[in-house]
């Protein structure tokens, strides 16, 4: 509610929110869902910022169902939910209308169908809706009255004649047992359905995990192949370079030692010196070399 600054937008948002929450407050939703919707309506109504407050729209045809729901709350000892429902009534939070939605005169408007959540719905049971506790009690009273009337018109007033026994004496008890058996069968069927649904979800989850694992393994294999190719290309390049180095070494070793000496013995003139100075140094070096070569070796005598 705090996100809407203008009063008109705030009123529209509040109306739409209460309308959405009010859908879950009515049948065919289950009892727990309707109780949750009641708490939601109570919170939304008391926290709204509209002045005057926007009310909860209730059609007159839905009011008997709401009163029955209130009685079910009291019978089930949900006194907290019954208390907040009474608080809403005392605060005049309900706006009683002829139709569930606002109708405009001479305007064509597309009627939006409410999309009910299947998991929130109360499972329909025609047997339980037809044969209720009140119906069984009424049948029991009718059956007792029928037995008494047979005794009245019979010769023996203590018990009815056999010719008048058109239905079984334990008709109501048998009907009640059949109803309870059907209810138990339906509950077991619902449990089996939920278990099958859970197993299907688990299997689908496992299939997704296996698919993800297979995709991951394929991706890892592809990366491994790419790495293998790149490493093999690097190894071949290094081998070719090594072979080239061996060839260079063999070519250098094939040269004559005289050529290597000549190339190594040639003094390279230093850069930046005068040519005359360089020539003088070379002459001195030659003289020293000849002196060393021409000196005789004297052996010591005993």
Chain segment 131-180, per-residue pLDDT in tens: 778 888 888 888 888 888 888 887 777 777 777 777 777 888 888 888 88
Distance of alpha carbon 258 from its chain centroid, rounded? 86
In the block, which residue shows the tokens 């998991």?
Answer: 119
**Residue 113 banded pLDDT, cuts 50, 70, 90:** low
* Distance (Å, whole) CA 175 – CA 140: 11
Q: For residue range 27-60, what is the model confidence (pLDDT) as tens digits? A: 888 888 999 999 999 999 999 988 899 999 999 9
Mean pLDDT of 210-214: 78
Q: List, in sequence order, every residue forming a beta bridge with 58; answer none if it has no partner.
A: 96
The answer to whether the CB of 50 falls within 8 A of the CB of 15 is no
Instruction: Look at residues 88, 85, 58, 51 and name the one whose alpha carbon lies nearest to residue 71.
Output: 85
Q: How many CA atoms lie within 13 A of 6 on its CB side?
A: 3
* Distance (Å, whole) CA 230 – CA 240: 16
Helix or strand or coil: residue 269?
A: coil
**Residue 92 banded pLDDT, cuts 50, 70, 90:** very high
Check residue 44 and give its pLDDT.
Answer: 94
Tell me the whole-structure pTM to 2 decimals: 0.44
H or E stretch including 141? helix 133-153
Cβ within 8 Å of residue 97, ≥6 positions away: 57, 58, 59, 60
* Distance (Å, whole) CA 53 – CA 230: 73
Check residue 275 and give its pLDDT.
Answer: 59
Parse the chain into domains and list their residue ranges: 7-102+117-122, 126-218
Check residue 272 and give its pLDDT.
Answer: 47
């Amino acid at each position: 509610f705090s996100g809407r600054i203008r009063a008109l937008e705030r009123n529209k948002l509040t109306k739409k929110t209460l309308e959405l929450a009010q859908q879950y407050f009515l049948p065919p939703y289950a009892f727990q869902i309707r109780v949750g919707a009641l708490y939601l309506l109570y919170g939304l109504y008391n926290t709204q910022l509209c002045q005057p407050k926007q009310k909860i729209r209730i059609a007159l045809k839905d009011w008997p169902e709401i009163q029955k729901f209130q009685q079910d709350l009291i019978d089930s000892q949900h006194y907290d939910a019954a208390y907040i429902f009474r608080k809403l009534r005392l605060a005049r939070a309900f706006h009683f209308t002829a139709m569930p939605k606002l109708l405009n005169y001479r305007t064509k408007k597309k009627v939006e169908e409410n999309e009910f959540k299947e998991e929130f719905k109360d499972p329909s049971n025609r047997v339980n809706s037809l044969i209720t506790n009140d119906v069984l009690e009424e049948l029991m009273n009718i059956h007792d009255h029928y037995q008494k009337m047979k005794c009245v018109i019979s010769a023996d007033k203590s018990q009815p004649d056999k010719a008048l026994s058109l239905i079984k004496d334990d008709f109501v008890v048998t009907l009640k047992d059949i109803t309870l058996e059907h209810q138990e069968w339906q509950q077991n069927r619902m449990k089996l359905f939920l278990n099958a649904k859970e197993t299907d979800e688990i299997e689908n989850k496992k299939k997704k995990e296996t698919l993800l694992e297979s995709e991951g393994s394929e991706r890892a294999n592809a990366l491994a192949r790419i790495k293998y190719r790149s490493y093999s290309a690097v190894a071949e390049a290094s081998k070719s370079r090594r072979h080239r180095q061996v060839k260079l070494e063999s070519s250098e070793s094939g040269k004559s030692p005289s050529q290597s000496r000549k190339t190594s013995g040639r003094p390279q003139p230093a850069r930046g010196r005068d040519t005359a100075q360089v020539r003088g140094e070379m002459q001195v070096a030659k003289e020293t070399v000849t002196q060393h070569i021409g000196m005789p070796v004297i052996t010591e005598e005993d």
